Chain A
Amino acid sequence: MSDKWQPTIVGFFCNWCTYTAADLAGVSRMKYPATVRVIRLMCSGRVDPQFILKAFAGGADGVLIGGCHPGDCHYLEGNYKALRRFEMMKKLIAGFGIDEKRLRLEWISAAEGEKVKRVIEEMTQQVQELGPLDVPKIFAGWDEELDKLEEEIKKEAEEPSHV
């Protein structure tokens, strides 16, 4: 692996397709960047938009959702729900100042180990180009101003103001 900065990508993979595909990639000894932390869910329809925001808020640089191809959902409609939420989430995170390229949805069937590898490689490169998001650091930067008050109060005690 190169010395390049490696992003942290949270992957929400559906149990029936993409997770099985990732497993297949593993047993087939395919190599891909170790940037994705996979969370296995029963269905891409289970990917609550709160999970996506929580991943970004917790320090993820990207979020990858993997589900079954349209028509193949184990629960019939789960992946359509995932698709609609994904389209809305792209608009939402853009409103919060997060590049929509940091969020990706892919349909990967259980047989497509090769696609898992390709998608992770592509997404890793794309997020590398965007650079770190690091929301906890942004929050810490915002909150630095809260420490200032203590100093102000101390200063005020030494030099009282007259209005």
Chain B
Amino acid sequence: MSDKPKIAMYWCASCGGCEESVVDLAEDILFVVENVDIVFWPVALDFKKKDVEAMEDGSIVASFINGAIRTTEQEEMVRMLRRKSQIVIAYGSCAQTGGIPALANLCEREAILQYVYHDAPTVKNPEGTRPQLETRENGFRATLPEFHNVVRTLGQIVDVDYYLPGCPPSPKLLKEAVIVLLSGNLPPKGTVLAPDKALCDECARKETKPETMEIEAFHRPHNTPVDPELCFLAQGIVCMGPATRAGCGAACTCGNMPCTGCYGPTSRVEDQGAKILSSLMANLAPKDEEGIRKALEGIPDPVGTFYRYAVAGSLMRGKLTK
């Protein structure tokens, strides 16, 4: 084995976009593979769990873990990678704040299983079979991971050293993170490896953001014409920009879609959804209850809108059920 720093990548509850973002490094991936040894990356390389188990504790320099944590298998793997690694990096919004999978925290576990194995229109399951945690046959025992009650962020399971935000993180951020790790000049623990300012700062529409805003009503991008130059908030379209960290190069607003908040909050914000709610409501025009309620009809799903990527990492963590 070479003496290059050992790196691991692992995939928990996520769509695979984070893995794809590594491939999006394009020719820069050559720089990465030249400088590091990838010792574990199930999506691309044939290493097994037992290979990681055999490694000495702390022998991996950095583990990049993407995805939220929903099953016992994911929990077990990230605990093991934590033991084997000097640095654990939560890669992408699912690992950082729960991401899209954490929207499932608005439903009870039983309701999800009921839908997926019985009620979904594409399911044909006359015997009502569900996966079992354990099956015994001919003296053999086979097990499946257990589905946890709630989706968790990586940081709610293991100690996390750094965060790379985004859905997915931009290749630029990844490359910068690798350079920082290789330099040995590490930032303080807990640092989010992206600029600590709001997305509005790098948005091309910044100049058109009104000094004082008076939003009369909220519109959704699919049922209103969207001006491709004008600040979304000035058009009454919910844009998470003011409560979201920069670092993506304002990719969505350049594509004529408002920011949905995937880079998470800046360091001054604890709860991203509550913060954007605060800002939007301050800039609403109506002053009477009826007018306010009417304007709010334009936001039919506040939790899904303000916490699209952050339910698990929010102060409430999910829908409260006893």
User: B106 contacts the other chain (Cβ, under 8 Å)?
Assistant: yes
Q: Which residues of A contact B273 (CB under 8 A)?
A: 92
Which chain A residue lies CB-closest to B269? A50
Q: Chain B: how many interface residues by the 8 Å CB criterion? A: 47
Q: Which residues of B contact A97 (CB under 8 A)?
A: 319-321
Give which listed residue, A48, A96, A141, A159, contacts B278 with CB less than 8 A.
A48
Interface of chain A: mostly helix, strand, loop or mixed: helix
Given A85-B278, A145-B148, 12 other A-B contacts at CB below 8 A? A48-B275, A49-B277, A50-B269, A89-B277, A92-B274, A138-B321, A138-B322, A139-B317, A146-B157, A149-B79, A161-B140, A162-B142
- Cα–Cα distance between A160 and B231 once the two chains are bound (Å): 59
A59 to chain B, nearest CB (A): 12
Give which listed residue, A83, A92, A138, A162, contacts B292 with CB less than 8 A.
A83
Q: Which residues of A contact B309 (CB under 8 A)?
A: none
A-B contact pairs, 27 of them (CB 8 A): A48-B274, A49-B275, A53-B316, A57-B315, A70-B287, A83-B287, A84-B284, A84-B286, A84-B292, A85-B277, A87-B293, A87-B296, A88-B277, A91-B296, A92-B277, A95-B303, A95-B304, A98-B320, A135-B320, A138-B321, A142-B149, A146-B157, A148-B72, A148-B146, A161-B140, A162-B141, A162-B142
Which chain B residue lies CB-closest to A79? B287
The digit string for A146-163, where 1 denotes a CB below 8 A from any CB of B, is 101100110000010111
A interface with B by C-beta (< 8 Å): 45, 48-50, 52-54, 56-57, 70, 80-81, 83-85, 87-89, 91-92, 95-98, 133, 135, 138-139, 141-142, 145-146, 148-149, 152-153, 159, 161-163
Is the beta-carbon distance between B141 and A161 smaller than 8 angstroms?
yes
Is the beta-carbon distance between B301 and A95 smaller than 8 angstroms?
yes
Is the beta-carbon distance between B315 and A141 smaller than 8 angstroms?
no
Is the beta-carbon distance between A149 and B316 smaller than 8 angstroms?
no
Is the beta-carbon distance between A96 and B319 smaller than 8 angstroms?
yes
Q: Which residues of A contact B150 (CB under 8 A)?
A: 142
Is the beta-carbon distance between B274 and A49 smaller than 8 angstroms?
yes
- Cα–Cα distance between A18 and B232 once the two chains are bound (Å): 37
B279 to chain A, nearest CB (A): 10
Q: Which of B36-80 contact A (CB under 8 A)?
A: 72, 75-76, 79
Is the beta-carbon distance between A50 and B278 smaller than 8 angstroms?
yes
